[in-house]
Amino acid sequence: MGSRGEGCAGALPWRFVGAVNGTVLTYDPAPPVGAPTKLGAGQVVSFATSDVVTVKSQDASHPFYAAVYMTGSMYNASTTPPNSRTTGDPDFVNAVPSDQFLDHYVFFTDHTYANTTLTMVRRKTSKGFLRVTLDCAGEVSGWAPIGTSGEYEYAWVQLTKTFQSQAFAGGSCGYGRQGASSDGPFSITVWGTDLDASYGFPGGMGLRPIMPVTVTVPK
């Protein structure tokens, strides 16, 4: 999710696209208001939520696409001239499926944006949840469960704030090349925000064949 600072995401727009008919979606802990429970081939559904949930279809033969957006900056029209009241602006970011999580990432953070936040999600292994380490910060802490299944946890990590590097027990994080690793699968989404500006991207993802479906795109 695209945080606008210190883990406060607000209600963000999401978009799901069905690939085949008869796709049934299951959420943990519960479907957000307006979220679809079924998708057909080519069906597009958009909704907004601040809920932290997982979503899956009934099997690999029913894939679907998911993306998250950030809305435009808010303005205070009562001042002269109007002043922006929030950081960030529109962006559009692919959601990485858990079957494409990796155990090592190298990514970059842009020094022209004041605030940099990571959204991290890790998946439980046969040995439990394994530690995730950021090169600049050491072991990531502050993990919270997603849903009730006990399969996923997430953490928000702020690397920069108002252009200032943030200190951690294992070091200090700033801009430029970053690295993260674990003995288990996890994902990273990078968010940069500034006054009326933002960017976001997945820190990486696998390219494994995870579905037996061939999707035909109409000409």
pLDDT at 5 over 90: no
Q: Which pLDDT tens digit goes with each residue over 87-142? A: 888 889 999 999 999 999 999 999 999 999 999 999 999 999 999 999 999 999 99
pLDDT in tens, 13-68: 999 999 999 999 999 999 999 999 999 999 999 999 999 999 999 999 999 999 99
CA dihedral sign, ordered 35, 20, 93, 90: negative
Return the pLDDT at 79.
62
* pLDDT confidence of residue 89: 86
Paired with 70 in beta bridges are: 91
